[in-house]
Amino acid sequence: MATAIFVRDIAQYDGQEVTVRGWVKAKTGKGKLQFVRLRDGTGQVQCVAFKKEMDEADFEAIRGLTQESSVIITGNVRADERAPGYPGGYEIGVTGVEVVQVGDEYPITPKEHGTEYLMDRRHLWLRSDRQWAILRIRATIIKAMRDWLDNNGFLLVDTPIITPAAGEETTTLFELDYFGEPAYLAQTGQLYNEANIFAFGRVYCFGPTFRAEKSKTRRHLIEFWMLEPEIAYCDLDELMDVEEQLVSYIVAQVLAKHQQELEIIERDTVQLANIAAPFPRITYDEAIERLQKLADETDDPEQKELLKIEWGEDFGSPHETALAEMFNRPVFVYHYPSAVKAFYMQPVAGRDEVCRSVDLLAPEGYGEIIGGSERIFDADLLRQKLQAQGLPEENYDWYLQLRQFGSVPHAGFGIGIERTVAWICGLDHIRETIPYARLLNRKYP
Ligand code: 4AD
Ligand code: MG
C-alpha cells in the first residue's frame, strides 16, 4: 500500500510510491501521455501518466477526467526542478488511479470571467489559485494577530453578537426581533471588552461584526471580522506602540510564510518588506494642513477638488490615500474632531473639540485599517455624551457602572481583518478578502 500524503509534504517522499487525493485542476496531453495537474487543498502537483506504465483501464480513466473531477492517484514521486506546482520541483509518475467522480462541465475555466459571474459562483471560485492564496494569507494574518496578543499578556474574552444597544453610530445598526423586543447585531465588541479589562487587565475579542453600510465602496463589507484589544491603564501613545508592534509582526509573518502565495497573487513585496515599527504619528491638525498644502500645490483640477477638506471634516478615501502616500509605511493620525468620532472617546484636556482617538492608515492607497481611542472614564461625562448623541441611557446602564467601581483610564482599538488582508495582498476590492462576502447588493451564496 502506497502512503497517503498531502501535496505540501511531497519533498519528503522523493523516490517513494504515494497516494494523493484531490481534484483535477487541468489535464493536457495526447495519445500515450497525459498530464494531470492535481490539487489537494494543500498544494498542486503534476501527475504524469504514461500508457505503458499502468493498466489499460486506469489509463482510459485518466483520459476521461474533466476539470474538477475528484480522483485518488497513486504513483512514484520524482524530483524535477522544472516540475510546476505548489510547492513544485516534484512530479508523480502515475501507476494507478481511482476516479471518485467525473465532474460535469465546470463553469469556471482558465479564460477571463466577469466579477459578478465569479461572485455568483463563489462556492466554486474558492478553488482557484488566486483565491486559495488569498485565503491562506488571511488565515495566517488572523493567527499572527492572535499569537502576538497571546504572547503579550492579552487574554481572549469573547463578546456577544446579539446586543441590546449600539456600539458605534446608530445609522448602521442591524435590528433583530428578540422575542418581541429590539436587539442588534454587534457592530463592535468594544463595550464588553471595556467591562472585561476590569477582570483581566488586557483582553481582546475576535469575531464577526455587522454594519448596515448603505455605501457601496471597495472597502466596506456588511459583515466583517474585527480583532479588538482593550487595555486598562493605557494612553494613546502606548496604544500606538501596541498597534505598530502588532501590525509589523503580522506583515513579517506573512512574508516569512507565504512567498509562494504572494507570488501567485503577484504582490509586489518590496513595499511590505519596509513595514517595521515605529510608524510616523501625526495629528489630525497636521494632516489637514498637509492635505490643504497638497491641494494648493497640485495642478490637476480634478485632484484638487478631491483633496479639498476643511478642519472638522472626516477624511474620505482620497484624503487617506494622499496621507498614506506621504509615508512609505502605515501612518497614525490622532486627535480627530470629536464630532466625527464615536460617543465613548475621551476629549483632549483643554480642547474639547478633539478627542484622544487614533486611526492607522495603510500605505498604497488602502487607508484606515485600525480605529482606536482612549475611552471616557468619568461617568458624568459619559452620560453627557450619550445624551448628546440621543442614545437611551437605560440601555447603557451596565456600561456606565464600569465608571463607578474602580474606573481607570483605558484604551483600545479594532483592526479590520478584511482591510488588512486587502492591503497586505494588494487587492483592488475587499470582496476577495473573505470567503463569502456580504455586500450591499449581495448575500448569495
Ligand atoms: O473604526 P471602527 O468603526 O472602530 C470600532 O468599531 C471600534 N469600536 C474599535 C475599537 O476601538 N475596539 O472600526 C474598526 C476597523 C476599521 O478601521 C476597519 O478596518 C474595520 O474595522 N471596518 C470595516 N471593515 C470592513 N467593512 C466595514 N464596513 C468596516 N467598518 C469598519
Ligand atoms: Mg473608524
pTM assigned to the model: 0.97
Hey, how many other C-beta atoms are within 10 angstroms of the C-beta on 19? 17
125 pLDDT band, cuts 50/70/90, is: very high
In which residue are the cell numbers 477526467 written? 65
Separation of CA 366 and ligand 2 centre (Å):
13
Atom 11 of ligand 1, nearest CA residue: 413
Q: Does the C-beta of 190 come closer than 6 Å to ligand 1?
A: yes
354 pLDDT band, cuts 50/70/90, is: very high
Residue 162 has pLDDT above 90, yes or no: yes
Mean pLDDT on 242-266:
98
Q: Does the C-beta of 159 come closer than 6 Å to ligand 1?
A: no
286 pLDDT band, cuts 50/70/90, is: very high
What is the chain's mean pLDDT, rounded? 97
- The pLDDT of residue 216: 87
30 pLDDT band, cuts 50/70/90, is: confident
Q: Does the C-beta of 224 come closer than 6 Å to ligand 1?
A: yes
Q: Distance of alpha carbon 367 from its chain centroid, rounded?
A: 14
Q: CA triplet 158, 359, 419: central angle to 5 degrees?
A: 65
What whole-number percentage of the chain has pLDDT above 90?
97
Q: Does the C-beta of 196 come closer than 6 Å to ligand 1?
A: no
Alpha-carbon distance of 368 to 128, in angstroms, equals: 29
Q: Which atom of ligand 1 lies closest to the CA of 211?
A: 28
Sorted by where each starts, the structural domains of the chain and their CATH numbers stand as 3-101 (2.40.50.140), 123-280+327-433 (3.30.930.10)
Closest ligand to Cα 315: 2
- Name the 3-class secondary structure at 239: helix
What whole-number percentage of the chain has pLDDT above 70?
100
- The pLDDT of residue 199: 98
Q: CA triplet 144, 150, 153: central angle to 5 degrees?
A: 135
Q: Which atom of ligand 1 lies closest to the CA of 416?
A: 19
Separation of CA 414 and ligand 2 centre (Å):
8
- The pLDDT of residue 118: 98
Give me the helix-helix angle, 236-257 and 417-425, nearest 10°: 50
With left for phi above 0 and alpha for psi between -120 and 50, is residue 103 left, alpha or beta?
beta
Closest ligand to Cα 220: 1
> CA of 37: how far to CAs of 34, 45, 86, 406, in Å?
10, 6, 11, 63
Q: Which atom of ligand 1 lies closest to the CA of 417?
A: 19
Mean pLDDT on 276-304:
97
What 344-351 contacts at long range (C-beta under 8 Å, 24+ apart), as own/partner pairs, is 344/190, 344/191, 344/373, 344/375, 344/376, 344/382, 344/385, 345/373, 345/374, 345/375, 345/376, 346/373, 346/374, 346/375, 346/376, 346/377, 346/409, 347/376, 347/381
- The pLDDT of residue 14: 98
Residue 429 has pLDDT above 90, yes or no: yes
- The pLDDT of residue 74: 98
Residue 168 per-residue DSSP state? S
Q: Does the C-beta of 17 come closer than 6 Å to ligand 1?
A: no
In which residue are the cell numbers 455586500 written? 439
Q: What digits encode the pLDDT tens for the residues 94-109?
A: 999 999 999 999 999 9
Beta bridge partners of 367: 362
- The pLDDT of residue 215: 83
Separation of CA 36 and ligand 2 centre (Å):
48
Separation of CA 9 and ligand 1 centre (Å):
38
Separation of CA 326 and ligand 1 centre (Å):
23
The lowest-confidence range among 212-221, 234-243, 246-255, 355-364 is 212-221
| Ligand 2 ion local residues (Cβ < 5 A) | 371
Atom 7 of ligand 1, nearest CA residue: 414
Q: What digits encode the pLDDT tens for the residues 42-78?
A: 999 999 999 999 999 999 999 999 999 999 999 999 9
- The pLDDT of residue 1: 74
Q: Does the C-beta of 375 come closer than 6 Å to ligand 1?
A: no
Give me the helix-helix angle, 417-425 and 129-150, nearest 10°: 120
Residue 326 has pLDDT above 80, yes or no: yes
Atom 23 of ligand 1, nearest CA residue: 416
Does an H or E element contain 206, and which? strand 202-210
Separation of CA 39 and ligand 2 centre (Å):
40
233 pLDDT band, cuts 50/70/90, is: very high
